[in-house]
Amino acid sequence: MRTHLSRELPALGAGAAVVVCGWVQRRRDHGGILFVDLRDRGGLVQVVFDPARPEVFARAEELRSEYVLEVSGILRQRPAGTENPALPTGAFEIDATGLVILNTADALPFPLDEPDIGEAVRLKYRYLDLRRAVMRDNFHLRHRLIRTARRYLEDHDFLEIETPMLTRSTPEGARDYLVPSRTHPGHFFALPQSPQLFKQILMVAGFERYYQVTRCFRDEDLRADRQPEFTQLDIETSFLDGQAILGLMEGLVKAVFRETIGVDIPIPLPRLTFDEAQQRFGSDKPDLRNPLEFVEISDLVRDVEFKVFAAAAQDPKARVVAMRVPGGADLSRKALDDYAAFVAGYGAKGLAYIKVNDPVAENGLQSPILKFLGVAVVREILARTKAQAGDLLFFGADSARVVNEAMGALRLRVGSDRGLVAEGWQLLWVVDFPLLEYDEEHRRFQAMHHPFTAPRSDDLSYLLTDPGRVRARAYDLVLNGTEVGGGSIRIHEPRLQEQVFGVLGIDAATAREKFGFLLDALRFGAPPHGGLAFGVDRLCALLAGAESIRDVIAFPKTQKATCPLTEAPSTVSAQQLADLALLSTAPRV
């Protein structure tokens, strides 16, 4: 219907006869003339309706916001002084000689340029919400992200292969979404939490390099930024070790940053072991833009009078750390109390501190615990933390878990409160995760990633003797403190896989029932293989600067897992349930 998109107009130059189509973004009446900003997928262009053409002008007077138009006219320079340099087409306007109103629009439930619409309304009228420039830009960025990743992988000989959505329920990890089978009453498919087993099967099949951008499903209670369905860039390779895989993926990440936000990421990316990340940042996904770090002082405080420190320092499962806050000596009593309450939320029993007004002067320090530490120890702490005049030291002393969680959270909070977090993009790999974590409640080991993750070969000897000590060949990609990807080298030997199932307390019969096909597959020539998956929604939200992944998903669910647009989920007919041999026990509403 149109001859050109608005963005193509400047290249034509004044005098061109054009037909454009789009929406009325804004209408202004000025000096008896009618100006319309017409919006199409390429941008905006100003259309002028002149009363000198009475028929067209009369029709133009009917125009309201979001009417859909086909406008024919002549492109011309805007009069000097009326150009809009903010607009790519801002030197031009269309002198309208014809107008077709392709569709009208009712008054909108909210103005498109209103920034603070409630999310429920935005999702109900998603087709309006998505017209906003910020949303449109998000989906263009998402498109470029996925396109770039695909092309990179295709250029590196990866094959896109689709895996099933209707698959088998394996009640490990999160809760499955179930799909009743009509042809097999009493039987259910499950929607995949990830294509993990299928991609390993594809490696056994010899494809060597697989990728897929695919939907995954978890029926979990939704935390802040989770969705029941989410998109994963899923990758698996054969005959590559962890180093080679990380290298390949760094190239991918670099390409994505370049093509989405024009940022050049230096590679190789830094790598931190899980242990070091915990020691220095109390986190397995440290935000390296935040300069705050823990300093271990357990060895300094083993024998101090302050029992909280001494006890933690002497307990091999506990730790004592200091965290220096540059310039933090100006924190008020109230601020310190607030932080103490904050860490209490993470299980810390208190929040010791030292204000370093002057590290060398007599009475230059301020703290309730000074006298229980002793001058010599305090001096060593100041030296080790490199405390300067005006700084403040926070202390954490508790089980390593509580210290890491509480002080890790405090690190983020203080860094943010005090504007210490640098601009920019900090990527890193966290590697050498523990293979297992101990589940205190069920008194058994669980796989930290999943039960198919390969142990490091130099830790194999501990597998049966000291399983908690075994490190995995697993890696996470962390961007500005958020995990955006993760994976591992997998077990390719059936005997080792059976051993790991044993350590996890999965007996042979259960293993066979749940994963029999994988165990079988490993017996028929499985190559060494490994891979990873990126969380597309989360990566996209970060790159777009969106507050929520819901802003980079076209039709997301609410926190209550509903869709305000379609009003899903909904009730279904009795016949539909009967067809599935199911009865609902839900109370009728």
Please state the residue numbers annotated as binding site for ATP.
218-220, 227, 483, 535-538
Of 53-61, 283-291, 466-474, 552-560, the window that binds its own copies (rule: CB under 8 A) is 552-560
Instruction: Quickly count: other Cβ atoms within 10 Å of residue 529's Cβ.
Output: 24
Residue 582 beta carbon to its own copies: minimum distance, rounded to whole angstroms: 5
Q: Which residues contact 532 (CB under 8 A, 6 or more apart)?
A: 235, 245, 249, 475, 477, 485, 486, 487, 488
Strand, coil or helix: 167: strand
Of 142-150, 279-287, 301-309, 356-364, the window that binds its own copies (rule: CB under 8 A) is 142-150
Using the rule CB under 8 A, which residue among 228, 251, 326, 364 binds its own copies?
228
Which of 233, 222, 260, 115 has its CA nearest to residue 556?
Answer: 222
Strand, coil or helix: 487: strand
189 binds its own copies (CB under 8 A): yes
Residue 6 beta carbon to its own copies: minimum distance, rounded to whole angstroms: 12
What residue has token string 């002549």? 74
**Hey, which residues between 69 and 88 contact its own copies (CB under 8 A)?**
70
372 binds its own copies (CB under 8 A): no
533 binds its own copies (CB under 8 A): no
303-331 burial: b if 16+ Cβ within 10 Å, else e: ebebebbbebbeeeebbbbbbbbeebbeb
CA distance 238 to 202: 10
Using the rule CB under 8 A, which residue among 17, 137, 140, 507 binds its own copies?
140
Using the rule CB under 8 A, which residue among 16, 74, 105, 422 binds its own copies?
105
What residue has token string 């203080």? 414
| Identity of residue 36 | V
CA distance 482 to 74: 51
**Hey, which residues between 420 and 479 contact its own copies (CB under 8 A)?**
none
332 binds its own copies (CB under 8 A): no
Residue 254 beta carbon to its own copies: minimum distance, rounded to whole angstroms: 21
CA distance 176 to 169: 7
Of 84-92, 275-283, 480-488, 571-579, the window that binds its own copies (rule: CB under 8 A) is 571-579
113 binds its own copies (CB under 8 A): no
550 binds its own copies (CB under 8 A): no
Of 51-59, 150-158, 289-297, 309-317, the window that binds its own copies (rule: CB under 8 A) is 150-158
**Hey, which residues between 248 and 277 contact its own copies (CB under 8 A)?**
none
Q: At what angle do helices 196-204 and 508-522 cross, to 10 degrees?
A: 40
CA distance 254 to 149: 10
Using the rule CB under 8 A, which residue among 9, 21, 96, 318 binds its own copies?
21
284 binds its own copies (CB under 8 A): no
Encoded one letter per residue, x for contact with its own copies by CB under 8 A and - for no contact, window 40-59 reads xx------------------
CA distance 19 to 55: 18
583 binds its own copies (CB under 8 A): yes
Using the rule CB under 8 A, which residue among 217, 294, 339, 353 binds its own copies?
217
Using the rule CB under 8 A, which residue among 29, 61, 62, 241 binds its own copies?
241
Cα dist. 182→179, 242, 568, 581 in Å?
Answer: 9, 43, 21, 7
The total number of residues shown for the chain amounts to: 589
Using the rule CB under 8 A, which residue among 28, 156, 187, 349 binds its own copies?
187
What residue has token string 């405080």? 301
